[in-house]
């Protein structure tokens, strides 16, 4: 049996070996707090070993994922990590004891400073090229999203996901309709991803973002010398780039009527005629279109062709707005919180019930995109480990609709009046007379309301 001296002797040997190792080593518990970090790592991070111990790893090591591995139990090997201006190669291994997850071990691999700097410079020189290649491939050759990226527990959305599986294998046109921010593009990507065309290009065209005079050449391409400034050798249009695959015509309701005629011909004849070409070129594409516009009304007003509508609306998808599927609000809130916290390297574990009530009362005109943006703002605005009302953007805190069901009408009106007076005083730098003029009330009324709502500050009292 080992006595205390023997145990200390062995611990000293082990610690010396670890501290002298070329690798940087850190160990965290399941809460993500550092229980061990070797001296080499501390020297690089410019922190004392005693100071690092007990701290959450995200507060000590930038872009760390150690706390995530310590929770999930899933190892991450040879992951490129950016620390203090350098790219490192990190391994993150979960630690188990008697079958129970108790933490994680992280190692950062390098050899000597000179060799690492050489490797780091080489990686940095390659990164812009790699990112360009990946971006080009992503833009021109593949769908980024799958059905797994559509997060929902709404029966309507789950039915639409099943519908995707049923229609993906065909070549018929699909029209996806829904308000901005509902996730129309995710459905378009998912249809392509599950189709036999998935190994061929997926080309997205935002019909509303391309100037009208450029739209024809963007869609159908042009021949060399077709017009002044035409590129030597000509240029392939989006339809030819999508040959064999799928073209996604986003915001098709914004397409000019004259272009609708040319698009209809392409869909009917299955051939395109580049600007300046003498003969058409056969093209094989599947068309998925999307819009948030009322196409039926636009047909009545002669702003959208009826024959084109029937050509693209073979399989209709209608995505409901977030306000019509309230069961998704808490589900998406938790999903976005985890995703954004991980990306930001922050440890946010809770959302106050008051905040959830605000989310449930809000109408979300921007749908999923608005919810994600609000949570991203809240994650960056919060100082602790929980999202509170004070973390929310002002636009959401100031919405009187969020108080319905929590306060009486009189209380809601008073709360709204209080917020308006507060913001007006801020706008006029606490000048009560100017604020009163802006609100159309007397100075005495302004003083009464300031007193009523306890808005007195040292600056106001001066």
β-strands 202-206, 246-250 pairing: parallel
Q: What is the mean pLDDT of the chain?
A: 83
pLDDT (0 to 100) of residue 82: 77
- CA–CA distances in Å: residue 77 to residues 18, 139, 312, 372: 20, 29, 46, 30
pLDDT (0 to 100) of residue 462: 38
With beta carbons less than 8 A apart as the criterion, state whether 92 and 69 touch: yes
Residue of 315 and 380 predicted with greater confidence: 315
d(CA 429, CA 99): 62
Asked if pLDDT for residue 461 goes beyond 80, the answer is no
Residue-wise over 401-439: b if at least 16 C-beta within 10 A, else e? Answer: ebbeeeeeeeebeebeebbebeebbeeeeeebeebbeeb
With beta carbons less than 8 A apart as the criterion, state whether 192 and 245 touch: yes
Average confidence (pLDDT) over 357-363: 86
Q: pLDDT tens, 15-68?
A: 666 666 556 889 999 999 999 998 888 888 889 999 999 999 988 998 889 999
Asked if pLDDT for residue 399 goes beyond 70, the answer is no
Asked if pLDDT for residue 99 goes beyond 70, the answer is yes
- Confidence bin at 233 (pLDDT 50/70/90): low
> Of 154-163, 227-236, 393-402, 409-418, which gets the smallest average pLDDT?
393-402
Residue of 257 and 125 predicted with greater confidence: 257
Average confidence (pLDDT) over 373-398: 82
- What is the model's pTM? 0.60
Q: pLDDT tens, 284-297?
A: 999 999 999 999 99
pLDDT (0 to 100) of residue 30: 93
Domains defined for the chain, CATH in brackets:
1-110 (3.30.450.20), 155-176+186-315 (3.40.50.300), 323-396 (1.10.8.60), 409-453 (1.10.10)
Neighbours of 201 (CB within 10 A): 22
CA atoms within 13 A on the CB side of 177: 14
87-91 long-range contacts, CB within 8 A, separation 24+: 87/120, 87/123, 87/124, 87/127
Average confidence (pLDDT) over 317-331: 95
With beta carbons less than 8 A apart as the criterion, state whether 253 and 288 touch: no
Residue of 240 and 413 predicted with greater confidence: 240
pLDDT (0 to 100) of residue 319: 96
- Confidence bin at 153 (pLDDT 50/70/90): very high
Q: pLDDT tens, 174-210?
A: 999 999 999 999 999 999 989 999 889 999 999 988 8
């Amino acid at each position: 049996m080992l006595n205390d001296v023997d145990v200390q002797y062995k611990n000293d040997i082990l610690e010396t070996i670890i501290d002298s190792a070329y690798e940087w080593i850190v160990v965290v518990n399941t809460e993500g707090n550092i229980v061990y970090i070797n001296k080499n790592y501390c020297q690089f991070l410019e922190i004392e070993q005693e100071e690092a111990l007990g701290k959450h790893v995200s507060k000590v090591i930038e872009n760390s994922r150690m706390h995530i591995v310590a929770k999930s139990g899933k190892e991450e090997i040879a992951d490129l990590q950016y620390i203090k201006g350098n790219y490192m190669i990190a391994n993150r291994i979960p630690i188990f004891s008697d079958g129970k997850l108790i933490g994680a071990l992280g190692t950062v691999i390098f050899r000597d400073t000179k060799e690492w700097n050489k490797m780091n410079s080489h990686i940095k020189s390659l990164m812009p090229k790699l990112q360009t290649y990946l971006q080009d491939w992503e833009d021109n050759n593949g769908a980024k999203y799958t059905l797994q990226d559509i997060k929902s527990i709404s029966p309507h959305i789950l039915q639409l996901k099943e519908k995707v599986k049923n229609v993906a294998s065909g070549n018929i046109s699909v029209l996806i309709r829904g308000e901005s921010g509902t996730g129309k593009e995710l459905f378009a990507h998912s249809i392509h991803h599950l189709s036999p065309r998935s190994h061929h290009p997926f080309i997205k065209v935002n019909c509303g973002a391309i100037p009208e005079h450029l739209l024809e050449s963007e869609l159908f391409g042009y021949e060399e010398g077709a017009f002044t400034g035409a590129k030597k050798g000509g240029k392939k249009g989006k339809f030819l780039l999508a040959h064999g695959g799928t073209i996604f015509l986003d915001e098709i309701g914004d397409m000019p009527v004259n272009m609708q005629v040319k698009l209809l011909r392409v869909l009917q004849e299955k051939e395109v005629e580049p600007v300046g070409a003498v003969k058409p070129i056969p093209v094989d594409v599947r068309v998925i279109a999307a819009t948030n516009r009322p196409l039926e009304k636009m047909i009545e007003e002669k702003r959208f062709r009826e024959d084109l509508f029937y050509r693209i609306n073979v399989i209709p998808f209608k995505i409901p707005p977030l306000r019509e599927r309230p069961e998704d609000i808490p589900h998406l809130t938790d999903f976005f919180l985890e995703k954004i916290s991980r990306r930001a390297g922050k440890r946010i574990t809770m959302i106050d019930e008051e905040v959830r009530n605000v989310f449930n009362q809000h109408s979300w005109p921007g749908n999923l995109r608005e919810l994600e943006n609000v949570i991203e703002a809240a994650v960056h605005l919060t100082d602790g480990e929980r999202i509170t009302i004070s973390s929310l953007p002002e636009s959401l805190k100031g919405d009187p609709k969020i108080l319905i069901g929590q306060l009486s009408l009189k209380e809601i009106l008073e709360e709204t009046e209080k917020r308006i007076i507060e913001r007006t005083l801020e706008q006029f730098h606490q000048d009560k007379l100017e604020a009163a003029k802006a609100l159309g009330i007397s100075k005495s009324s302004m003083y009464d309301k300031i007193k009523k709502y306890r808005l007195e500050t040292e600056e106001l009292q001066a």
